[in-house]
């Protein structure tokens, strides 16, 4: 058993109290508990001010809350406060990572995988074009799992960065980041991890995984939209110049006949120019507290149990021949996402019909078209993704609806 009661958890979410929707679109965004919503409202009602800008009481309170948010998020991933940079989301974090490493990449090679989200492909392609770097792509097998032989061949003395997802947002495959880090670091390459799907669902420690940069979003882990995180290893953060400089990123700017002299702020502030997402940071901190109270290991175990139940009910209802799964059926090294197609039916039609049964899923390529095409899902897939508040009844309703739709197709 997962170690907590998801039925009690559901009481904290207004959407489940007030509606009968079956929400299985958690890989796109999660729902927010009342604790997060109330923390944001309380900030705006009692402490709203800009941070690091004034010595009046409100500014000091807002700054304290904002800095505490960094500390809580840092602890959550096993990092130090100075290593946690707040951004808009995973996409901005990965773009920032690529831009920060522009000079490092010049004339070298970037290694990606076939399972990457578009947000962990496009920034690297852009930077590669600018600096004349070469991009290599590591292939996957028929289950969507990384081909390790292909990875070992791709990583060479010319490799500057290995950019890889912690968990696929389509196949739910969980990559062995520790092993990838050992390989990359053996040739002096940096490891940049897309943690958008992994951090909300798995225990993550950047030190034990030996990650150089890690990107993830608040809105996929019970937090608000508009905030994400880029973890940058301390010594790396200290040597890098900010990719997007501006107010708040500097200690001093002076001008003489010889030109401008700039003294950058210490990390993380030198990477957070302008007015940051203050209220969102307060909400994310509360979301982290909520997840820690339940335990990430418990959450992961609960999600895998729900996927196991889904596969079991598919077999019992004789739907295995009608439902084509994208990704592994094995529960080893996989998370709480299952992508599939129903017969020859277009995935968007299936999702539309599931919505008529009050079941929310996602359809399309899920910003991972190369993986879909590699596995033969050229029209995309339907994606059902669970989280800590989903229960077996949600899966049961999905199975019943799929059986009804299959009989109509």
5-21 residue pLDDT tens: 999 999 999 999 989 99
Average pLDDT estimate for 119-136: 98
The total of structural domains in the chain comes to: 2
Same domain (yes/no): 227, 180: yes
- Same domain, residue pair 254 and 145: yes
Q: Name the nearest CA neighbour of 367 among 25, 119, 92, 98.
A: 119
pLDDT of residue 371: 98
Q: What angle do CA 132, 133, 136 make, to 5 degrees?
A: 145
Residues 6 or more apart whose Cβ sits within 8 Å of residue 381: 170, 326, 339, 340, 341, 347, 363, 364, 365, 366, 372
Mean pLDDT of the chain: 96
Whether 309 maps to a domain, the answer reads yes
Show which of 293, 324, 350 is a domain's final residue: 293
266/382 same-domain check: no
Task: Show the tokens assigned to 406.
Answer: 């299959």
**What whole-number distance in Å separates Cα of residue 327 and Cα of residue 143?**
4
Could you tell me if residue 357 is inside a domain? yes
Confidence check: pLDDT of 409 > 90: no
> Sorting pLDDT into bands at 50, 70 and 90, what band is 408?
confident
Q: What is the mean pLDDT of residues 102-109?
A: 96
Is residue 31 domain-resident?
Answer: no
Confirm whether 251 is domain-assigned.
Answer: yes
Q: Residue 294 half-sphere exposure, CB side, CA atoms within 13 Å? A: 29
Which residue did the predictor score with more confidence, 248 or 161?
161
151 has a pLDDT exceeding 70: yes
- Domain end residue (candidates: 293, 317, 340): 293
CA distance 21 to 355: 9
CATH of the domain at 84: 3.40.640.10
The encoded tokens of residue 387 equal 């989280």
Of 189, 294, 231, 196, the C-alpha closest to 97 is 231
Q: What is the pLDDT of residues 49-79, one digit of tens each?
A: 999 878 899 999 999 999 999 999 999 999 9
Instruction: Tell me: do 203 and 251 sit in the same domain.
Output: yes
Q: What pLDDT shows up at residue 310?
A: 98
Catalytic residue among 81, 137, 250, 367: 367
367 given a catalytic annotation: yes
Residue 403 has pLDDT above 60, yes or no: yes
Asked whether residue 262 falls in the same domain as residue 309, the answer is: no
Domain that holds residue 333: 6-25+295-408
Q: Where among 235, 264, 293 does a domain terminate?
A: 293
Asked whether residue 1 is domain-assigned, the answer is no
Residue 30 lies in a domain: no
Judge if 276 and 318 occupy the same domain. Answer: no
- Residue 28: which pLDDT band, with cuts at 50, 70 and 90? very high
Whether residues 222 and 366 share a domain: the answer is no
Do both 233 and 362 map to the same domain?
Answer: no
Output the domain CATH number for residue 322.
Answer: 3.90.1150.10
pLDDT(325) > 60: yes
Looking at residues 8-36, what average pLDDT do you find? 97
Q: Average pLDDT of 264-272?
A: 94
Is residue 282 domain-shared with residue 307, that is, in the same domain? no
Q: What is the pLDDT of residues 350-400, one digit of tens each?
A: 999 999 999 999 999 999 999 999 999 999 999 999 999 999 999 999 999
- pLDDT over 60 (residue 1): no
Domain membership of residue 102 (yes or no) is yes
Rounded to whole angstroms, the Cα distance separating 29 from 360 reads 12
Do residues 196 and 327 both lie within one domain? no
Q: What per-residue confidence (pLDDT) applies to 220?
A: 98
pLDDT band at residue 257, thresholds of 50, 70 and 90? confident
Whether 274 and 299 map to the same domain: the answer is: no
Phi first, then psi: give them for residue 156, nearest 5 degrees: -135, -175
- The pLDDT value given to residue 304: 97
Residues 274 and 318 in one domain: no
Q: 2 pLDDT exceeds 70? A: no
């Amino acid at each position: 058993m997962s170690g907590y009661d998801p039925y009690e958890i559901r009481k904290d979410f207004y959407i489940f109290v007030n509606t009968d929707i079956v929400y299985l679109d958690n890989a796109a965004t999660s729902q927010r508990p009342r604790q997060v919503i109330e923390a944001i409202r309380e900030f705006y009602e009692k402490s709203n001010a800009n941070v690091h800008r004034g010595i009046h009481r409100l500014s000091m309170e807002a700054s304290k809350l904002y800095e505490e948010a960094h500390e809580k998020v840092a602890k959550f991933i096993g990092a130090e406060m100075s290593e946690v940079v707040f951004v808009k989301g995973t996409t901005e974090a990965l773009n920032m990572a690529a831009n920060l490493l522009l000079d490092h990449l010049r004339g070298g090679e970037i290694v990606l995988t076939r399972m990457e989200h578009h947000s962990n492909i496009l920034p690297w392609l852009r930077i590669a074009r600018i600096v004349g770097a070469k991009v290599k792509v590591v292939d996957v097998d028929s289950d969507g799992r990384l081909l390790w032989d292909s990875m070992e061949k791709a990583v060479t003395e010319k490799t500057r960065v290995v950019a890889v997802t912690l968990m696929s947002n389509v196949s739910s495959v969980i990559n062995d980041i520790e092993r990838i880090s050992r390989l990359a670091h053996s040739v002096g390459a940096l490891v940049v991890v897309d943690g958008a799907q992994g951090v909300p669902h798995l225990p993550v420690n950047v030190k034990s995984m030996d990650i150089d940069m890690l990107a993830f979003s608040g809105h996929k882990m019970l937090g608000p939209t508009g905030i994400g995180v880029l973890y940058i290893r301390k010594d790396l953060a200290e040597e890098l110049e900010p990719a997007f400089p501006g107010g708040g990123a500097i200690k001093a700017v002076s001008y003489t006949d010889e030109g401008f002299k700039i003294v950058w702020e210490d990390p993380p502030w030198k990477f957070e120019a302008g007015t940051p997402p203050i209220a969102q940071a307060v909400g994310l901190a509360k979301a982290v507290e909520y997840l820690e109270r339940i335990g990430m290991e418990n959450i992961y175990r609960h999600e895998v149990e729900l996927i196991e139940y889904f596969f079991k009910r598919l077999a019992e209802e004789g739907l295995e021949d009608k439902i084509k799964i994208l990704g592994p059926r094995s529960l080893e090294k996989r998370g709480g996402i299952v992508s599939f197609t129903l017969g020859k039916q277009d995935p968007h039609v299936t999702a539309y019909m599931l919505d008529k049964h009050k079941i929310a899923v996602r359809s399309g390529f899920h910003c991972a078209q190369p993986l879909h095409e590699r596995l033969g899902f050229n029209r995309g897939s339907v994606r059902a993704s669970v989280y800590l508040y989903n229960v077996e009844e949600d899966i049961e309703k999905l199975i019943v609806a799929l059986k009804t739709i299959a009989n109509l197709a």
